[in-house]
Amino acid sequence: MFNCKFCNKTYKKLNGCRLHEKYCKLNPNRSERLDNKIKNNFVCQYCGREMLMSYQCYKRHETFCKCNPNRKIFKGHKLSDAEKNNLSQIMKEKHKLGLAPTWAHLRGKNNISYPEQWLMNVIKNENLNTNYIHEYPFYSFSLDFAWVDDKKVIEMDGRFHKISKYQQDCDKRKDNLLKKNGWKELRIDWEYCCNNSKEIIQQIKEFLS
């Protein structure tokens, strides 16, 4: 333990104690390099506001002060009507093709859940068709495992799919879209799969065969 020789403040490390002594308020010969960081009373020349702050904060206030006729204003690029219509058409085409961004892109494709890892291992160990796409974008949704050429999809449903009404509505809308577009779907209840893994593996084999 090290103590400041001016205010007797305790420090665990010698370097920290020496740095404190250099700028200690009780040190008559303390360094003046931090004068700009010490809080002082400043008065804005535009709004007349009196502020207790550092010199850097005071100058920043004056730069963006509402009463400053030359104040800096940062505005994003405002889209014109033509640009808005163009972006709208692009997003509509992406939705039709099933290429629009989905929640899967936002949450990150690298965050693979344990049920999804289990299914990947089953496909690999059982020598099944590995030409699938994980988190395949489909309209405003994402498909857990999609075999695009065969139009087959396997969905892994965790406990959240049972307790959430919102998720159940999303699953129904996704199922209807899959049927309309001619996809074959296999939904796997993970809680049931934990107790009946052999039965589920056999279903996966028959579905992908």
Report the pLDDT value the prediction gives residue 166, as an integer from 0 to 100: 78
pTM of the model: 0.49
Please state, in angstroms and rounded to a whole number, the distance separating the CA atoms of residues 169 and 176: 11
Tell me the pairing of strands 133-138 and 141-147.
Answer: antiparallel
Confidence of residue 153 (pLDDT cuts 50, 70, 90): very high
197-208 vs 114-125: helix crossing angle, rounded to 10: 60
Q: Is the pLDDT of residue 11 over 80?
A: yes
CA distance 65 to 62: 5
Domain limits of the chain?
Answer: 1-31, 35-74, 103-208
- Scored b (16 or more CB within 10 A) or e, 57-92 reads ebeebbeebeeeeeeeeeeeeeeeeeeeeeeeeeee
Residue 123, pLDDT > 70, answer yes
> Per residue, what are the HEC states of 46-106?
CCCCEEEECHHHHHHHHHHCCCCCCCCCCCCCCCCHHHHHHHHHHHHHHHHHCCCCCHHHH
103-208: what fold?
Answer: Endonuclease; Chain A (3.40.960)
**What's the mean per-residue pLDDT of the chain?**
81
For residue 35, pLDDT beyond 50: no
Summarize the confidence of residues 3-32 as an average pLDDT. Answer: 82
